[in-house]
Amino acid sequence: MRFCWCSACGQDLVDNMECFMILTPGQQLAVAVLALTLGTFTVLENLMVLCVILHSHALRSRPSYHFIGSLAVADLIGSVIFVYSFLDFHVLHRKDSPNVFLFKLAGVIASFTASVGSLFLTAIDRYISIHRPLAYKQIVTKTRAVLAFSAMWTVSIVLSLLPLLGWNCKRLNSVCSDIFPLIDRTYLMVWIGMTSVLLLFIVYAYMFILWKSHHHAVRMLSRTSQRSVQTVRPEQARMDLRLAKTLVLILVALIICWGPLLAIMVYDLFGKVDDFIKTVFAFCSMLCLLNSTVNPVIYAMRSKDLRRAFANICHVCVGATPTQDGDSTARDSHL
């Protein structure tokens, strides 16, 4: 059953959705379990993050949490649409009309592009907080934060709708992607290029922050050695270590979740994709969902302020007296 459509696929890839339904029953069961498990965790995590941010006035007033909220919305929407569309196609083998399929795909593209865009805005926010700490509050204002993520969402939605509006290989009679039905390879190249630029800047921003953190630790150690007195505050050392751990987690998550996926997409642009690579790509697509699952852990739940706000909600629920939200520095809120 897996290879019975090879000749038809070779003749007309555009009108044969079966060419992309290459998973065996065992593989279908595996991706179904993965998708439903990761999807459930992703929805619950991001709902919790959004509820905490919306409930806390202190968090809502900070621009950085606008970007984290935008990330949570993108990951929440993306996980729901991706799991539904992925299982509907690869497991249930639903063959929609081209417009319906492209509309579903637009939802996936928009949400995951907005997720990367939110990561990009978060990286810019943290880069400014380290590079220009004294001017941070003047540069990153609430109004600018709203304008930034609104523009990012607009670009993501418009870009995702282009195939539905006509930039697809069926309408243009152009070269089709071997891993995405109906997607024009030029469109795929544009999306890969834009996403890669965003991811490279994110990596650069966090590498810069990591370097600044290391430079700060070395400078403090040098001052301590010169004075021969242990003057470094334990809480400062713990904050630097926590920052370094967070940045390493961010970089590892980006490389693991997006590296294999983008590599296969690039190969699709220049090489011939067989059923084995399509199968690998189907499983690698789960990495996008995994990224949406780990984002709340890395960007939100490691925040001391968000954990404090969550504890306040729990105290209210049990009838205890909540603690004060308090105010912390931009650097503290970014750990």
| 332, 299 contact by CB (below 8 A) | no
3-state secondary structure of 176: strand
pLDDT the model gives residue 217: 60
Instruction: State the amino acid at position 154 in one-letter form.
Output: T
**Which residues, 6+ apart, have CB-to-CB distance to 89 below 8 Å?**
17, 20, 21
**What structural domains and CATH numbers belong to the chain?**
23-333 (1.20.1070.10)
At residue 201, what is the residue type? Answer: F
Could you tell me if residue 253 is left (phi over 0), alpha (psi between -120 and 50 degrees) or otherwise beta? Answer: alpha
DSSP-derived letter for residue 135 is T
Question: What's the sign of the alpha-carbon dihedral 142, 160, 117, 325?
Answer: positive
CA distance 241 to 234: 11
Q: How far apart, in Å, are the Cα atoms of 293 and each of 42, 81, 177, 302?
A: 5, 14, 28, 14
pLDDT of 250-297, one tens digit each?
888 888 999 999 999 999 998 888 889 999 999 999 999 999 999 998
Tokens read off for 316: 């209210």
Look up residue 280 and give its two tokens.
């690998």
pLDDT digits (tens, 9 = 90+) for 12-30: 555 577 788 888 999 999 9
Better-scored residue on pLDDT, 134 or 223: 134
Higher pLDDT, 223 or 140: 140
Residue 213 is which amino acid?
S
Confidence (pLDDT) at 274: 87
pLDDT of residue 167: 94
Per-residue pLDDT reduced to its tens digit, 295-324: 998 887 777 888 888 888 887 777 665 555
Q: Alpha-carbon distance 60 to 65, whole Å?
A: 7
Indicate the pTM of the whole model.
0.85
Q: In whole angstroms, what separates CA 39 from the centre of its chain?
A: 14
Altogether, the residues listed in the chain come to a count of: 335
Q: What is the pLDDT of residues 145-181, one digit of tens each?
A: 999 999 999 999 999 999 999 999 889 888 889 899 8
Q: What is the mean pLDDT of residues 30-49?
A: 94
